[in-house]
């Protein structure tokens, strides 16, 4: 199948974990990319600061802004062909205490991006980022795209709202949208609030006791570069039958947090005990106990499948963190 030409690419959330890896990959493959990073008074571009510190590539345009501003988006998205929408508030713990900010950014922000794509530009493909959290605790496994959506946290509820908004714009306004639903992406640059960097940072700091939350919960961990390839595969897919569809991105394998600890202990050759702290545990009805993807729909549509094994990905993270001592100094919040 011939590939669709991405043309001029616009990426929201470019300063973040997955977004920065996506931007770098697109730039290195020769695409002309506009990278939207969240405005801040320091003039920082998040993880892209390292990438551009010596010289910004000629095919990368870095901009600062906010997806909550529709007027700004109208001007900046104009002239682009493909939009990858990754900007979102994603920290689940903060969503319990500041839920309105999640709905304003994740739902209304997505609405603003779609309006700019639809009415002020000639965007021919809009790729929206969802999350496996919209499924909540699995009612059946592996989880297909037909699994019911469950708002078990304000964060997941806001992402469900965004997903439904995207579906409505496809159905009622013919927005050429595709939704990608990553399962538990991990890798270099991930926030210290996530479980894998939380464990590794404590091990590298020489701790003999690792502080964690729920150890029995299972997750389907997907290495970040595999997630990036899934975004590109959806963007380049030339079959319009994928429009209006949602696709899971995962490995199709699950592992408990306790077993992740054992694997990290093996890789690092370190012994440690685990302490469960109450502040690292979600409210009872909010905990997602099991996530296991069925990524076959995405494979059938694009040929994409995860290439990194969990152990290979963890080694990549470990090697990266060893060389980022300032990263290890970040305060670990908590994993939920």
pLDDT of 216 > 80? The answer is yes
Q: Facing residues of 210 across strands? A: 274
Q: Is the pLDDT of residue 335 over 80?
A: no
Output the pLDDT for position 208: 86
Residues 263-275: what's their mean pLDDT?
Answer: 91
Q: Say yes or no: domain 9-328 is CATH 3.90.245.10.
A: no
Token representation of residue 256: 């408990």
Domain spans, the chain: 9-328
pTM: 0.94
Which of helix, strand or coil describes residue 98? coil
| Angle at which helices 195-204 and 257-268 cross, to 10° | 40
Token readout for 223 is 């290495």
Q: For residue range 31-79, what is the model confidence (pLDDT) as tens digits?
A: 999 999 999 999 999 999 999 988 999 999 999 999 999 999 999 999 9
Residues 92-102, mean pLDDT to the nearest whole number:
94
Q: What is the mean pLDDT of residues 206-218?
A: 85
What DSSP state is assigned to residue 237? Answer: B
Distance of CA 50 to the CA centre of its chain: 20
Q: Is 155 in contact with 89 (CB distance < 8 Å)?
A: yes
**Which among 85, 18, 20 is positioned nearest to 47, based on CA atoms?**
20
Q: How far apart are CA 242 and CA 68, in angstroms?
A: 28
Q: Which residues contact 274 (CB under 8 A, 6 or more apart)?
A: 209, 210, 211, 212, 215, 258, 261
**Can you name the residues that pair with 223 across neighbouring β-strands?**
186
Tally Cβ neighbours within 10 Å of residue 141.
15
Indicate whether 15 pLDDT > 50: yes
């Amino acid at each position: 199948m011939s590939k669709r030409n991405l043309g001029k690419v616009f990426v929201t959330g470019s300063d973040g974990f997955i977004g920065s890896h996506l931007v770098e990959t697109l730039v290195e493959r020769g695409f002309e990319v506009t990278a939207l990073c969240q405005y801040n008074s320091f003039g920082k571009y998040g993880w892209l600061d390292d990438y551009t510190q010596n010289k910004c590539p000629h095919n990368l345009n870095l901009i600062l802004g906010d997806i909550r501003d529709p007027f700004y988006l109208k001007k900046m998205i104009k002239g682009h062909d493909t939009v990858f929408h990754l900007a979102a508030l994603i920290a689940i713990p903060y969503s319990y205490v500041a839920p309105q900010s999640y709905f304003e950014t994740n739902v209304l922000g997505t609405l603003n991006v779609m309006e700019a794509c639809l009415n002020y530009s000639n965007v021919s493909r809009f790729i929206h980022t969802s999350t496996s959290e919209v499924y909540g605790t699995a009612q059946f496994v592996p989880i297909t795209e037909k699994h019911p959506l469950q708002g078990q946290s304000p964060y997941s509820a806001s992402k469900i709202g965004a997903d439904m908004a995207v579906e409505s714009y496809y159905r009622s306004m013919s927005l050429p949208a595709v939704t990608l639903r990553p399962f538990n992406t991990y890798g270099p640059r991930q926030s210290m609030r996530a479980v894998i960097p939380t464990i590794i940072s404590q091990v590298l700091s020489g701790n003999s006791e690792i502080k964690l939350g729920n150890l029995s919960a299972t997750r389907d961990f997907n290495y970040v570069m595999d997630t990036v390839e899934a975004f590109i595969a959806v963007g380049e897919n030339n079959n319009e039958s994928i429009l209006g569809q949602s696709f899971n991105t995962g490995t199709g394998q699950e592992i408990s947090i306790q077993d992740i600890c054992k694997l990290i202990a093996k890789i690092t050759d370190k012994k440690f005990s685990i302490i469960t702290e109450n502040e690292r545990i979600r409210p009872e009805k909010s905990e997602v106990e099991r996530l296991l993807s069925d990524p076959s729909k995405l494979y059938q549509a694009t040929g994409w499948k995860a290439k990194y094994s969990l152990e290979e990905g963890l080694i990549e993270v470990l090697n990266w963190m060893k060389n980022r001592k300032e990263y290890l100094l970040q305060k670990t919040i908590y994993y939920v």
